[in-house]
Amino acid sequence: MNRGLRSLVVPAVIVGVVLLVVAVIYFVDAEHSLPSFFPGHSSASSPEANHHHTKHGIAALVVALACFAFAWFQSGPKAGASTAGGSPAGGAS
């Protein structure tokens, strides 16, 4: 396993949590209530001011889940790790 990829576990989890929060904001808040730096923000006088950006929320959720999956697979045991006992079960003493 590459040590460089293993060091990306913590940042992947942090990005996943942030994207999870972003997804919830997209699902809950209307278009005019989004923070101004979010894509899809519009003024309250817009004709679709009460529109929710469901697709943006789904995209953020999918990328968050991908970050969590990456972190999970990279934090697993190293390839070729031996069992805790060290000797075969049917070995002679």
DSSP character string of 36-83: TTSTT---TTSTTTT---HHHHHHHHHHHHHHHHHHHHHTSPPTTPPP
Hey, where are the domains in the chain? Answer: 3-74
pLDDT tens-digit profile of 17-53? 999 999 998 888 777 777 777 766 565 555 555 566 7
Which residue is listed with tokens 């519009």? 42
Cβ count within 10 A of residue 22:
19
pTM of the model: 0.69
Cα diameter, the chain: 83
**DSSP for residue 87:** S
List the structure tokens of 89: 């079960």
Q: Where does residue 89 fall: left (phi above 0), alpha (psi -120 to 50 degrees), or beta otherwise?
A: alpha
Q: What pLDDT is stored for residue 80 in this prediction?
A: 66
CA–CA distance, 44 with 49 (Å, rounded to integer):
5
